[in-house]
Amino acid sequence: MTAKATQLNTIGRYQLQVLLGEGASGVVCRAYDPVMDRVVAIKSARVEALTAEQLREVIADYHHEASVAGKYAHENIVTIYDVITHNNLDHIVMEYVPGRSVQDYMKATGPLDLDEALSIAYKCCVALAYIHYHGVIHRDIKLGNIMYHPAQGIVKLMDFSVAHNIEDPPVRDTGTIAYMAPEHFDPARKISLLTDIFAMGATLYRMLSGKYPFTSKNTSWQILNEDPVPITSLRADVPPELVAIINKAMAKSDADRYQSASEFAAAIKLLTEKLYPDSNLLSTSINYLTP
């Protein structure tokens, strides 16, 4: 599918409107659902860019994502509506979220202000607490998997393609290495809910500094054996309390890390209310505007 093709096409009953994003294996388009009278987003594979085996893997990921995340509804998680088949190809139909990923947003803004980073991190922790309560580990928390619209107060986790139920045996080599916890690289340790907490700490680090916590050289060894570059050496205005929060979230051992996303969220809330006592930064209510 190309941007030109989306201008005229439909997928099932959905009328494609505009290309929202494009990656190596897929595209996401905004579309109109005339039956429900609402705007949705549709994720489709880039057939022309994939081998037959790669296409099967992408479609399998779609079904996995829908089966894991499709049963949940939370204002800080992108809602999956359905998986539909059109022209012998499956597509995910999901909630349309105005805005863009935090990764794309930061390409324009650079590192975020403290209040903005705290607000995003808090809402992500609330979302993580929700999915963890239901026994789901996201496994790929990162800037590119957080939708954000600052004017409307929207923060939503997305892309559950490598998520899994906690009782299922995990695949260790999934996720994005720059945000991976030490247990990914130690066969003696268990992938758990705390793995998402480490990744959220790494995400907060990057929102504030614009840098990854570890370099691209021997990354897994660094994650196992070295501490990240002190964030205050990259950004002097990060207060000691926030440094402590990030360090605890990214602790090497499970015992030293936050023991739940709720505990992580509570620490962010306490600091935010101290730094910005008269703000409404942590409100999770969303004010949608007409797309």
Lookup: tokens for 231: 């964030």
Token look-up 């299922």 returns: 168
Residue 169 buriedness (CB in 10 A; 0-12 / 13-18 / 19+): exposed
CB atoms within 10 A of CB 81: 17
Q: Any idea what DSSP says for residue 32? A: E
Cα distance from N-terminal residue to C-terminal residue, the chain: 23
Q: Which of 264, 263, 282 is nearest to 273 (CA)?
A: 282
Selected catalytic residue, list 33, 90, 113, 140: 140
Q: Any idea what DSSP says for residue 149? A: E
Q: Is 140 a catalytic residue?
A: yes
User: What are 217-222's contacts with CB under 8 Å, separation 24+?
Assistant: 219/177, 219/178, 220/177, 220/180, 220/184, 220/185
Do residues 31 and 17 lie in contact, with contact meaning Cβ atoms separated by under 8 Å? yes
Q: Which of 192, 188, 196, 202 is nearest to 246 (CA)?
A: 202
* Torsion angle (degrees, nearest 10) of CA 260, 261, 262, 263: 60
Q: Which residues are catalytic?
A: 140
